[in-house]
Structure 1
Amino acid sequence: MAKDEILSFFVQAANHHDFSTDITLHVNGTLVTGTIVSAASYFSSLRDSISEENDVAKQLKEALQQAKESADKRQGDVEYIHLKNMVAYLAENKTTPSDTELLWRGKISEVDGFFLGRMTDQE
């Protein structure tokens, strides 16, 4: 599946120019809404969310730090989009249950469509 070049442009702007915007993605029948962040920011936030209490956690944090450093250096084509404060709207308007801010990573080539802006619950 081909990926959307405009969406790729937004991701490159986030990765290389500290750009961030709210966006809603249509992915395989699910709406995913959140704020675009750079890959480096995503890996950094994910690393910071892990408590360093054992050897496995330490190894995970080190791997995520390496991924962040690699993302900082990466130029050119992008394959993934990263969101913070993500909410997914599933069937029947049900959202992802969470008490925390969720991070999300998805393949750009799997996104069916998007619009700028964030969906919110209408009550």
Structure 2
Amino acid sequence: MSSVVPKDSIIEYFAKAANTGDFTLDITLNVNGSVISGTMISAKKYFEELSGKLEDGSEIAQKLSEDLSEASEAADSHDGGEANFIHMKNTRVYCGDNKPTPSKGKILWRGKIDQIDGFFLGRISESKNSNDNSKKS
């Protein structure tokens, strides 16, 4: 007996909206015990930004950058069918009570929609005064 877990249709709807329009969304995901927080972007934007991170590197990095640029064009021509992946920027991954990994930089993240256990709208942001429990009036 196989136990196929269906992907969340709401998250898939958000991913389709991002992929077919100029739609971004701050979202926090629960994935296998980790919390992943960032801004959902289109597959095209994800591949463009990933390509840009590699374009000034070695010859191999430049070739990868070109291939990713082509992938972004292919993602743009996607017909809006089924979405299997979610793409995020400015991502932080939280495991337990530790600080997020990575804690600095603009991190891109790609994950399988059918691996997401839950979500809420909005991003987790670190407060500079997280240890200050005093109330201000």
- State the AA in 1 paired with 2:20: H
Report the counterpart of residue 86 of structure 1 in structure 2: 91
Render the CA deviation track for 1:73-114: whole Å, top value 9, x for unaligned. 112001000000000111223310343110000000000000
Which stretch of the first structure deviates more once superposed, 63-72 or 85-94? 85-94
TM-score by length of 2: 0.85
TM-score by length of 1: 0.94
Sequence identity of aligned pairs in percent?
Answer: 45
SS at match of 2:125: coil
- State the AA in 2 paired with 1:29: G
- Deviation of 1:52 (Å): 2.5
Structure 1 regions of 5+ residues with no counterpart? none
- Is 2:93–2:102's contact at 8 Å kept on the other side of the alignment? no
Matched ranges for 1:43-54 at <5 A: 43-54=47-58
Instruction: Calculate the aligned-residue CA RMSD, in Å.
Output: 1.2
Inter-partner Cα distance in structure 2 for 1:112 and 1:42: 22
Bigger CA radius of gyration = 2
Looking at secondary structure, tell me which structure has more helix per residue. 1
Matched ranges for 1:1-123 at <5 A: 1-75=5-79, 76-122=81-127, 123=130
Structure 2 regions of 5+ residues with no counterpart? 131-137
| RCO comparison, higher one (Cα < 8 Å, 6+) | 1
Inter-partner Cα distance in structure 2 for 1:97 and 1:121: 13
SS at match of 2:30: strand
Paired positions, count = 123
